[in-house]
Structure 1
Amino acid sequence: MTKTIGHRDWRWQALWWHHFFLLWSTINGQTRYSIPEELKQGSVVGNLAKDLGLGLSEISDRKLRVASEAGEQYFSVDAGKGELVVNDRIDREALCGQSASCVLTLQVVVDKPLQLHRVEVEIQDINDNSPKFPSQEITLQIAESTAAGARFPLEIALDLDVGVNSIKDVSGGRKVPELVLSKSLDREKKPIHQLQLTAIDGGNPVKSGTSLITINVLDNNDNFPVFEKNVYKVSISESTIQGAFILKLTAKDIDEGPNGEVEYSFGTHTPDTILSVFDIDSSTGEIRLIGKLDFETNANYEIDICARDKGTPRMEGHCTLHIEVLDVNDNAPSIFLTSQPNSVPEDAPTGTVVALISARDLDSGDNGKVTLQLPRGSPFNLKPSFSDNYALVTGGALDRERFSEHNVEITATDSGSPPLSTKKTINVSITDVNDNPPIFTQPSYNVYLKENGVPGSILYSVSASDLDFGENAKISYSILDSKVQDVSVSSYVYINSDNGSIYSMHSFDYEKLKVFQIQVQAKDQGSPSLSSNATVHRMPRSAKAGHLVTKVTAVDADSGHNAWISYKLAEATDASLFTVNLYTGEVRTKRAVSEQDDSSQRLLIEIQDDGEPVQSATVTVSILLEDGLHEPILDLRQKVAEPSKKTGRITLYLILSLASVSVLSLVTFLILAVKCMRNSRSSGSCCMRRSDCDDYKNPNRNLQIQLNTDGPIKYVEVLGGDMMSQSQSFRSCMSPMSEYSDFTLIKPSSTNDFKEVISVLDASLPDSTWTFESQQLLEFKWHLVIVFDSLFHDSTKG
């Protein structure tokens, strides 16, 4: 009957424990389970996937894994069921000792997206340890004169279990068992007494331990020393130096002589961990520090103090000393990587999680409160999550071309006084995105072809580079489709898409095709791909000082002072050769070009606005110095390509404008010339400038026509000249690109003489000045030839 009842009780208790240990709860967003110690490997703790809101497919897809802060991996995740299972034997006493609470903290990490969950597993105690006395036999010396009621403290039995599974308290709530003398002893009747002391725990089933007590009855000295207090309490800082005084204990013995002289000592079974740290003076009872205190190792000490007299037999008294160790900030924080940092694309949005970080400090209170910081100006931020856990996230735009990786220095600082800190560097790699177009080595290329060349021969090679990486930096070259004499440019040349070498499709005939232009495009292999084109700038080697090479124009989207743009020459192959106008961006020669100058010049122009702070950009201008072209001007006119249909209307407007200006100029010339000729019959000279009015009577001045040299014609000057002279000098505005604005007209006998003169003059014009505007000015010059041809004939007749 007893066995049946016991069996039912066991089954009921097992069922109750099973349901209790499988309960779990979520507190403040944290999942908590409770299990008993000593569970078998593979025992289920709880359905982790379900509790975290994850499907079974997400367990493997998102790489659910468990990391323990205790160091050893006691748990694992069943990938098939999503259950948290026991991975190894759990001994609660080995993990938590005599602590009333034993909780293992797990870090559950889920990837894609990266998440961190905190899971707590409470380890419940089972009654798997029996009480045990330090000694199997205890010997006491009790004088026969000892009065009834005297108490003798006995050794404490130790039970590694906690709670109800530990040793039951002695009646009256005392922790230390005491032997109480019920009545006076008589050594002559019985000199030795033997008792068995049993310690019983509160577990189910009950476990116990025993020790044999032997009492030797002594004669005479019948008073034992007595302390002023049964319990002494004292607090001491863990930074206290060795040799420091802690406390002085005093015990009194009312006996006289040796029976009343007291010696102090620690209890017989005081552990070495106390004896190595504290010392007691046997004569004075002073307790001093002889070792080093460490709050993180032992925050409290409980010491048994014994006072013995010198009588025969020796009598002793006992008291308990509680020493509380106060924490000081002597531990620097520690930084842990919960997950390894991920590579980040350079176009990652702000707030992208890079790594998960946690911080810990062994100190307590404010000394253990940790804050993490990043250096000022770091492109990353720290985002706190819970319980000293942080996420390292991007804090702004990243640029792999400037920094392909970042060494992020994290500083952990506690709140102690003075604070302690620790630094840890995390390497974050930046992956490339296609955000840089290819850039040619120079923005323009000039190629001279020989007619009747061999088809398939290489004409030129262009080259471009890309700041990106991998496929984003692989460049392919192509020629943009355009028309040359109504034929696709691809019929004339083709380009090697890999190296940028340009080849001819057939031989060229100078008489049929003198000039044509192609546009080369460089495109990378990124997604989406980026591209850039090359343009052409040309100038003659015979350019003089002040020659306009090109003009750089920049646009600023701001307004007001923030949009005021200035230009300056930052770098140059030869800084003495070129200058840049501060406000217009015009690039001009500072001196005449010489034969010693390099044929290839490179300028780096910096453009700044007037805002605060100043924003700037740079542009590279490549210039090829050529020998001057010497083709007749009539041939050069033929080089001008016919306007395309898209620009036909604009060209028409320009023609009408220039024609109007030419007509007005011709009328002005005619009026001035007629007036000058009439005046010349009487005075021999004429002058249209007020400053030269006094020179009207000077018969030796040459006839000069001077035009303004800055853009469209704004004024004309006709100066008097000697009619007997064989030549007349004229100064004309050719174009903002032209340096050859002086020409001489020989007194002609026919219009053909003027044509020859114009041919010689135009042969000296650089090819870079031959634009649509130059063509109009050429026509204007022919008008000048005709007008002044008439004037000279009239003056000759006169």
Structure 2
Amino acid sequence: MPERLTETLMDTWAPLVILWITVLPSMYMAPVNDSQVVPSGSNRRLLDISEEQKVLNRSKRGWVWNQMFVLEEFSGPEPILVGRLHTDLDPGSSKIKYILSGDGAGTIFVINDKTGDIHAMKRLDREEKAEYTLTAQAVDRDTNKPLEPPSEFIIKVQDINDNAPEFVEGPYHATVPEMSVVGTYVTKVTATDADDPVYGNSAKLVYSILEGQPYFSVEPHTAIIKTALSNMDREAKEEYFVVIQAKDMGGHMGGLSGTTTVTITLTDVNDNPPKFAQSLYHFSVLEDIAIGDPIGRVKANDLDIGENGKSFYDIIEGDGMDIFEITSDSQTQEGILRLRKPLDYETKKSYTLKIEATNVHIDQRFISVGPFKDTATIKIVVEDADEPPIFSSPDYLLEVHENAAIDSVIGQVTARDPDVTSSAIRFSIDRNTDLERQFNINTQDGRITLATPLDRETSTWHNITIVATEDRNPSQISRVPVAIKVLDVNDNAPELASGDQAYLCENGKLGTVIHTMRAIDKDDPKNGHHFVYNLPLELSNNSNFTIQKKKDNTLDIVTKRGGFSRQKQEVYLLPIIISDSGNPPMSSTSTLTIKILRTLAWE
């Protein structure tokens, strides 16, 4: 039976089997412990190798002496004959027993203990286990005593091309800039083959492209994918689906193959300028729009994306360059037209602007395409709005004398409706600013009158707010501050500011200054205070005291004699008349009390 199996394998593996069985047994066997496993047909013994044989073995170092081979994946009707063990000590009398031990002995590999034939009992897979290490021994069948020392040898599983290449890392994704030149590197793919890379061409791979021409190519041996067509435009087609095949057996017929997919995305470069959707834009806006509010949006479309598609906007010409501004919306890439200064329908009813959109990032490689910018015109129509009244002044300052008569006119405010269809204006006082209701206003003409008496010495300033309201639309109101200054009139007489008592010793001498008087006046004359001091006529020639005015507007009381006696008169009263310089002048009389003090003897 083993002989029939051998004949079945002759076509494919005849050289190996013949070499092993009949031709060059030493090619598969090597000395182990000075012994040699020898196949059938050899006249060498299993042990006691001569020195001559050792020399012979050394002369054939390039050969494999201790290996047997078995074809993987073989599944014939009978077990496979792997090889035969034999010793010349065996005379053929069945006294020799062959024993096999090691990897798979008795399960995968079985030996005929009489003939030494080794058979593989199971289908083997090199990719699962590539070799088996076994030990052969010849013993006496009756006594089980070794006839020779054990000899170790290896059975190698011979590879066949039973594994297709695999792309374990696929599917792949790669990117390459659009407009790349032919031969630009894209990516590299890698396939693996579980077959033996050393034996034959089972694991020798060759790569080819099945889908993706004419845009891409693959290098047959390195699997590097490159561009094969120039000027691929992302805006025309962004993504490509490429199929790569890896075939073993060096790509020859009969080899196995595997495929993988590579999704290649063209990345954007700035090869397109911005372009306005229209050359002329129309916007209308109410004249009362607030500063900074948006008026409208424009957009220059750019086929590029990301940073390459960003543009900034600017106003380059027009009659409203100082009135309007345009900014870029980073999210929508639109230009937002905004107001910088107030509009007035009655002054100017329309504006024309020329705007420009320019790419933020420009790729110098494509500058020859043309300017990466575009222009458009914007026409803005200002529409009339119902505006609140406008006062003739942003604030008012009025002056009134404190002795002004009730209902006298203090001043006037004026306001107008700026709209074309002007409305009448009504005036009023915000009473939260005039809690004491000291003023009134004529609702028709804005004249402010006095309602209650004023006193500058109580309050010099009054700050009120005047409200102007449209008759046609009461919701349209304006406010203006009015400051009212109360002017002084001479309505207060001067008063004595210093003390009204003075003291004089009995031994006081002629010309002694016994007191300095100081006056005050609640009024506030423009040129400052100037006081006049006088004694009553009946005391102008008295023999006791006189007065002397000083440059600082004060008054000294001076003795006209000496030798005052407390026993004769203890207290003197000196009336003094104080007059201001007002028109008419105001005066008052203050009395100074002068007390005579006793002079002590030791003085």
Under a length normalisation based on structure 1, what TM-score does the superposition of the two structures give? 0.31
**Which structure ranks higher in relative contact order (CA pairs < 8 Å, sequence separation ≥ 6)?**
2
Which protein is richer in strand relative to its size? 2
Which protein is richer in helix relative to its size? 1
Larger Rg belongs to = 2
